[in-house]
């Protein structure tokens, strides 16, 4: 067994993946915008380009795409990106994107990958709640507006359907 294999397997534990799933489900309860998470098991040179490609491939109704946000992580390269639809990119201030990226980078630099992902999801959820809140009826009985596959499938899918 190679040292790289040990390093790679330790990216997220089963417990951390479960915590992220719970956090992602909670993140979508307060916004009508869709939040996606993709943890990619292959390394890429450009996480931003990969995230944008996955965002375009994401199976979303076209009326939800402008307000959706995808949090992307490449597990082997320990890189990340946060991409959003046209409306959220226009509405969210540049300081939001910069702060989310800075916090993500800080956590990853310390090897705190679960914390970084969890915080990124929380920051995205708070910003989307501010920009695109759910109505009272939606919040009371609606399903969470989240999509994810934390086991490595790079195309986020709706796990709540």
pLDDT at 146: 56
pLDDT at 154: 46
pLDDT at 137: 55
Helix axes 14-27, 113-131, angle to 10 degrees: 10
**Residue range 65-107, pLDDT digits in tens:** 999 999 999 999 999 999 999 999 999 999 999 999 999 999 9
Mean pLDDT of each 10-residue bin along the chain, 161 residues long: 48 91 89 94 90 95 96 94 97 97 95 95 96 73 50 41 27
What's the CATH number of domain 15-149, 3.10.310.50, 3.30.450.20, 3.10.450.630, 3.20.20.140?
A: 3.10.310.50
CA 159 from centre of chain: 14
Half-sphere exposure of 54 (CA within 13 A, CB side): 32
Sign of CA dihedral 19, 20, 23, 29: negative
**Backbone dihedral angles phi then psi of residue 150, each to the nearest 5 degrees:** -75, 5
- What's the pTM? 0.81
The 3-state secondary structure of the chain reads CCHHHHHHHCCCCHHHHHHHHHHHHHHHHHECCCEEEEEECCCCCCHHHHHHHHHHHCCCCCCCHHHCEEEEEECCCCEEEEEECHHHHHHCCHHHHHHHHHHHHHHHHCCCHHHHHHHHHHHHHHHHHHHCECCHHHHHHCCCCEEEECCCCCCCCCCCC
């Amino acid at each position: 067994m190679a040292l790289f294999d040990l390093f790679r397997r330790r990216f997220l534990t089963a417990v951390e993946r479960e915590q992220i799933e719970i956090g992602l489900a909670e993140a979508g309860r307060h916004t009508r915008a869709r939040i996606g998470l993709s943890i990619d098991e292959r390394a890429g040179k450009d996480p931003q380009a990969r995230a944008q490609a996955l965002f375009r491939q994401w199976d979303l109704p076209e009326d939800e795409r402008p307000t959706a946000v995808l949090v992307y992580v490449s597990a082997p390269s320990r890189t990340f990106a946060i991409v959003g639809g046209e409306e959220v990119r226009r509405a969210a201030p540049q300081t939001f994107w910069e702060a989310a990226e800075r916090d993500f980078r800080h956590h990853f630099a310390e090897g705190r990958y679960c914390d970084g992902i969890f915080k990124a999801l929380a920051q995205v959820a708070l910003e989307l709640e501010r920009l695109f809140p759910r109505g009272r009826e939606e919040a009371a009985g609606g399903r969470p507006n989240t999509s994810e596959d934390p086991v490595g499938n790079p195309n986020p899918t709706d796990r709540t359907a």
